[in-house]
Amino acid sequence: MLVTAAPSPHVQRFAELTSDELRDRLREALELYVMAMRYPKGTAEQRAPMWLAHMLRPGWRCVAAIDDSERMIGIAYGYDGAAGQWWHEQVRRGITDHLGQGEANLWLENYFELTELHVRPDSQGRGAGEELVRQLVSRASNRRVLLSTPEGPSRAWRLYRRLEFVDVLRNYRFAGDPRPFGVLGRELPLVTQEPHSR
Instruction: Tell me which residues are annotated as active site.
Output: 160
Q: Are strands 144-150 and 111-119 parallel, antiparallel or unpaired?
A: parallel
Taking the C-alpha atoms of residue 64 and residue 132, their distance in angstroms, rounded to an integer, is 7
Rounded to 5 degrees, what are φ and ψ at 169? -155, 130
Question: Which helix (DSSP H) or strand (DSSP E) does residue 140 occupy?
Answer: none
What φ, ψ does residue 8 adopt, rounded to 5°?
A: -75, 140
Q: In angstroms, rounded to a whole number, what is the distance separating the alpha carbons of residues 84 and 90?
A: 10
Residues 6+ apart with CB under 8 A from 59: 78, 79, 80, 112, 140, 142
Cα→Cα distances 108→140, 146, 184, 185, Å: 15, 9, 12, 10
φ, ψ (nearest 5 deg) of residue 66: -120, 135
